[in-house]
Amino acid sequence: MRAKVEVMLKDGVLDPQGEAVCHALGSLGFDGVSKVRQGKIIELDLADGTTKDDVRAMCEKLLANTVIETYRIEIG
Amino acid sequence: MRAKVEVMLKDGVLDPQGEAVCHALGSLGFDGVSKVRQGKIIELDLADGTTKDDVRAMCEKLLANTVIETYRIEIG
């Protein structure tokens, strides 16, 4: 089975990487980009029978820094 | 309007970051993780009227390195 985890910075946490992308898009002539936020996507190939709770534990322990990041899990 | 771009390494391109995560999960006692791939997620706040083609152009020019990466665009 496969799980997909999206990790994004929480609102209010400064995202210099996203700001850099935003400015770069402006410099390339793409107007109308008002804000960019960048995050991580982690695709996991898991043994059958792994539960969403297991993946949640992985997020809490390793994949996300829950002080500044939120995560979202998609199974299947 | 908002667009979400997912950028992943193409199959066959070495992903040392994903491998590091895979090993780290094993070290933490999470068995059954056979493979991990890590990618980027980019959320864009765009002016109304921006089309998917505009976002595709952003991907081709800046957001993705199409030699080694694939991208997927979600609008809305």
Instruction: Tell me the average pLDDT across A13-29.
Output: 97
Q: Which domains does chain B have, with CATH numbers?
A: 2-75 (3.30.1280.10)
pLDDT of amino acid B76: 83
- Which residues in chain A are closer than 8 Å to B47, comparing Cβ atoms? 31-34
Q: In angstroms, rounded to a whole number, what is the distance separating the alpha carbons of residues B76 and A53?
A: 29
Among residues of chain A, what percentage have pLDDT more than 70? Answer: 100
CA distance A66 to A34: 26
Count of other CB atoms within 10 angstroms of residue B12: 7
pLDDT number for residue B1? 94
Q: Do A57 and B30 touch (CB under 8 A)?
A: yes
Distance CA A33, CA A69 (A): 23
pLDDT, tens only, A27-38:
999 999 999 999
Residue A39 has pLDDT above 90, yes or no: yes
- Residue of chain A whose alpha carbon sits nearest to that of B6: A41
pLDDT tens figures, B9-64: 999 999 999 999 999 999 999 999 999 999 999 999 999 999 999 999 999 999 99
**Average of per-residue pLDDT across A47-68:** 97
CB contact under 8 A, B43 and A39: yes
| The pLDDT value given to residue A76 | 84
Task: Give every CB contact of residue A53 below 8 A, 6+ residues apart in sequence.
Answer: none
Question: Are the C-beta atoms of residues B42 and A21 closer than 8 Å to each other?
Answer: yes
Question: Is the CB of residue A57 less than 8 Å away from at least one CB of chain B?
Answer: yes
Task: Give residue A56's pLDDT.
Answer: 98
Residue A3 has pLDDT above 90, yes or no: yes
